[in-house]
Amino acid sequence: MAPAAPDDNYATTTLKNTVAPAGVNSPPDQRRWQNAGSADLDRNCLVRVLLVCDNPRVASQVSSALLGEPGVEIFAVGTPQRGVAVLDDGDAFDVVVADNDTAPSGGFYLSREIKARGQMGQDVPPVILLLAREQDIFLSNWSQADAYVLKPVDPFNFSEALHSVVAGAPLPALPGIGGDPTPSLLDVPGDDDAPAEQIGGSIGGTAP
């Protein structure tokens, strides 16, 4: 199956189109690329990026920022729902990068879905949202995204932010980058290793 035209526009100039993980019958919005000249990258890859984006220009900004870095693999899908499905299928990624303006449901939905799965015990990667408006920073934090990057994507700043998030390190103090995820109601406050304090009485008893 030939790739959809938007995919061709941003894949062929920067990253080499390779075999899609699900085989030749993969959906047209599901593609995988690796840095040109690294034939065995998907066997020895250091950082696997799940890119959720339906805008060729934004996807080109992301891929260009990572072009030339050894050991970076980008697997791109065209909808948030496809991104969630890929993670639910058990494909392992080091980070999810999502354009918040991706139709039909956007990056906030995607981040909340991923974080909800993590709180239920699923192993999920951190999330970086690409935002068009500073006003969306509050909602990015509400969605529990690990970081945000304002568009247009600055190649150096984006690369620094991505590698910091993957390493679990503090975000660099660079323009247009930040993140302060709002704690979930499912998170137990205080020390993560401390036992949860009993709120009510024992089974069959009366709460104090």
The full set of domain ranges for the chain reads 5-178
Predicted confidence at residue 16, as pLDDT, reads 36
User: Is 163 a residue whose pLDDT tops 50?
Assistant: yes
Tell me what the mean pLDDT of segment 51-78 comes to.
92
User: Is 103 a residue whose pLDDT tops 70?
Assistant: yes
User: Is 3 a residue whose pLDDT tops 60?
Assistant: no
Task: Give CA angle at 172 (169, 178), nearest 5°.
Answer: 95
Q: What is the pTM of this model?
A: 0.71
Predicted confidence at residue 71, as pLDDT, reads 83
Q: Which residues of 46-76 are buried (b: 16+ CB within 10 A; e: fewer)?
A: ebbbbbbbbbeebbbbbbbbbbeeeebbbbb
**Tokens, residue 141:** 């934090």
Tell me what the mean pLDDT of segment 197-204 comes to.
43
5-178: CATH number: 3.40.50.2300
Close Cβ partners of 180 (under 8 Å, ≥ 6 residues apart) = 141
Tell me what the mean pLDDT of segment 162-186 comes to.
87
Closest of 59, 46, 123 to residue 89, by C-alpha: 123
Q: How confident is the model at residue 26 (pLDDT cuts 50, 70, 90)?
A: very low
Predicted confidence at residue 183, as pLDDT, reads 75
